[in-house]
Structure 1
Amino acid sequence: MFKPITIKDIAQALALSPSTVSRALSDSYEINEETKKRVLEYAEKHNYRRNPMASSLRQGRSYSIGVVVCEVANSFFSQAIDGIESVAYGKGYHVIISQSHDSYEREVVNIQHLANRAVDGLLISMSAETKDFSHITNLHGQGLPIVFFDRIIHAFDTHTVTADNRDGARKATQSLIDSGFRRIAHLANAPHLSITAERLEGYEAALKSNGLRLDETLIRYCHHGGRVQQEVEDAVRYFINLQEPPDAIFVASDRLSMGCLSAYNQLIPKDRQPAVAGFSNSEVLDLIQPGFTCVRQPAFGMGRMAMELLIQLIESRYPVYEFEHVVLETALITR
């Protein structure tokens, strides 16, 4: 069984006290340079690493951050996690990633597990099924720093980081209108999510600015956020079976875009399929639909900003009462 070397082991080998070894490893001015050199060389040779659990007990910190997203395989979230890690590791924090798979039950279990592991803070993007926020508000009430990104809630005051969902949706819908389409449907995420309302507003704004009437029968919601493909297929069948089917669709998320295009490819020939534009940070969609026009979110930048704001909360010596609500620009990739 592997047993890592400890400060006591180094002290015994070098005939020093454990406190001297500890101070030498911390580069204390109280220890002379010759002793420091002996200790550091021995520690390096025997692959000594600080015990994070012991350090956390002494400092009251774990130097770990819990991150809760719906799915790591989702291109947007994998890019956001890259941004999170780029800041966290540079600041000496470790990241523990947890997936909700857009399930409320799994989100509750995962967040509680992270809290039980004594993370110093949480970065959360809400699951599509979550309507009860008590599992989060209770932890915040106990003093756990929490920052939301992408899918946010306003159950309490804290930092938030999002993309400009309204403008991104407006640009995507406008691109369809500019291509000559007039009967444009909207495949939306779960209705209670923050991103759903904002992207719906952008879709409606584009229609209105072009003198097109909003037709409520052309809007379908996916309450499971695309996790249940049957729900997406049912929405596509609904569009196909309308007396006057849409000639284009604005899709509100990466996973829904994939599910929507897959469903259309299974159900009707390509020459009868509507044009599709939507939110996506995935390159894979180019293979399924080479002409797919998409809204790209600055996922890496969102992750970096969210992590920086969370560390500010964690390391603040005083209570924080003023919070930032960062909104980053999106980019329309037309093909």
Structure 2
Amino acid sequence: MKNEQITIKDIAKALNISTSTVSRALRNHPDISDETKKAVAELAKQMQYHPNSIASSLRNKRTNTIGIIVPEIIHTFFASVIAGVEEVAYAEGYKVLICQSNETYEKEIINMQTLISSRVDGILVSISNQTQKYEHFEWALQRKIPLVFFDRVCEDLNTSKVIVDDYEGSFQATEHLILSGCRRIAHIAGPQNLEICKKRKEGYLDALKAHDMPINEELIVYSHLDQREGMLLAEKLLTLPQKPDAIFAVTDPVAIGAHIAIRKHGLKMPEQISLMGFTNDAVSDIIEPSISTMAQPSFEMGKVATRQLIYQIKNKTAKPERIVLKTELIERNSTKKIRLKALSHS
């Protein structure tokens, strides 16, 4: 055959039947005989026929495609989320278009324009650390395109959200450090325009208060969630006249940066200083000493968010839901063992 797009007209001409018969045979229509269906299917395979998805989407007003916007694919957390998204999407007959904002508001706007122009049926979003305005998300809602936020969410819009209990996870992480004997616990926080960062800081502060420990503002520094800043901010903390005896980092990439700074200063973990992260990045487990962390169910988050999005695509009147997943403390070699049984809190 010529190097051209094969159509049902080509199949119909080769079999000397009508295009409508070919079309119905390919859709397994009951009015078409098994013999004809078999002949059409075999020739379609031989001729390498592929349905025109654009034409089909115009007829059905659906593309069977969903879009996802993540800050950075390079992070294992978001790569794992995407794997969960694809598992559910493909099982339900949807293709996935993946975009990354590279942690910039401007690129996130371009991502939304691209997905809307591609006529996706729904969009999953985890916002960038720069995002403080949300008009570009409203474009999708105005066009009746379902939106589901995950991890880093937009609280100002009435949409479904899939998150972890960032406050509880942060409280538990900080309490673990307290009960292991740490008394000057620093926190490398994240941008406070992100709800996850605010909640993790709140959990840290409330754990200190619950154990009658003072809040020292010089021990709280703010990052943009990357490894390099984690290293530089840990350097700053380690040059204080009174060094911290523990660092709780807002994410594992930030904790990995802090780990580099601690090693550079010749301090032993956990004997001289403890380190706690939040995410359960794959590197945290293989670095030496391995980093204790609060694990997020990233793969499950991707699956849950996709199920929710597909439900909303199929049920246009569905009300938004807020789904909260649990974190899990992973104790590794960067923190001391707990001396006392953790106290309950309300």
TM range (shorter): over 0.9
Partner Cα separation in structure 1 for residue 3 and residue 194 of structure 2:
47
1:319 aligns with 2:317: yes
2:282 partner SS = coil
Q: Is the 8 A contact 1:236 1:263 kept in 2?
A: yes
Partner of 1:292: 291
State which of 245, 248, 251 in structure 2 corresponds to 1:247. Answer: 245
Equivalent residue pairs, number: 329
Counterpart amino acid of 1:290?
Answer: P
CA distance in 2, matches of 1:264, 1:105: 35
Q: Secondary structure at the match of 1:174?
A: helix
Match of 2:230 in 1: 232
Retained in 2: the 8 A contact 1:74–1:254? Answer: no
CA change 1:141–1:127 in 2 (3 A) is same
1:262 and 1:16 map into 2 onto residues whose CA distance is: 70
Letter of the 1:76 partner, please give it: F
* Structure 2: unaligned runs, 5 residues or longer: 333-346
1:37-68 deviations in Å (ceiling 9; x for gaps):
11112112333221211111111111111111
Q: Partner amino acid for 1:237? A: E
Q: Distance in 1 between matches of 2:156 and 2:67?
A: 19
Deviations 1:203-231, CA, capped at 9 Å, x for gaps: 12221221212222211111x3217x2x4
Tell me the equivalent position of 1:334: 331
Partner of 2:337: none
Deviation at 1:302, TM superposition (A): 0.7
Please tell me whether the aligned partners of residues 69 and 126 of structure 1 are also in contact (alpha carbons under 8 angstroms). yes
Partner of 1:15: 16
Give the TM-score normalised by the residue count of structure 1: 0.93
Which residue number corresponds to residue 198 of structure 1?
A: 199
User: How far does residue 310 in structure 1 lie from its aligned partner after superposition?
Assistant: 0.5
* Matched residue SS, 1:49: coil
Q: Is the 8 A contact 2:104 2:131 kept in 1?
A: yes
The DSSP-based 3-state class of the residue aligned with 1:187 is: strand
CA RMSD of aligned residues (A): 1.7
Task: Report SS of the residue matched to 1:271.
Answer: coil
User: Which deviates more, 283-292 or 64-73?
Assistant: 283-292
Match of 2:282 in 1: 283
- Contact 2:231 2:259 (8 Å CA) reproduced: no
Give the Cα separation in 1 of the matches to 2:254 and 2:10.
56
Inter-partner Cα distance in structure 2 for 1:160 and 1:247: 36
Post-superposition shift, 1:2? 4.1
Cα deviation 1:105-163 (Å, max 9, x = unaligned):
11111121111111111100010111111111232122221100000012221111001
Counterpart Cα distance in 1 of 2:36 and 2:44: 12
Equivalent residues of 2:230, 2:253 under 8 A apart:
no
Equivalent residue for 1:107? Answer: 108
Q: 2:153 is matched with which residue?
A: 152
Instruction: Give the match for residue 309 of structure 2.
Output: 310
Between the aligned partners of 1:111 and 1:259, the Cα distance in structure 2 is 31
Task: Give unmatched runs, 5+ long, in structure 1.
Answer: none
Identity across the alignment (%): 41
Aligned to 1:142: 143
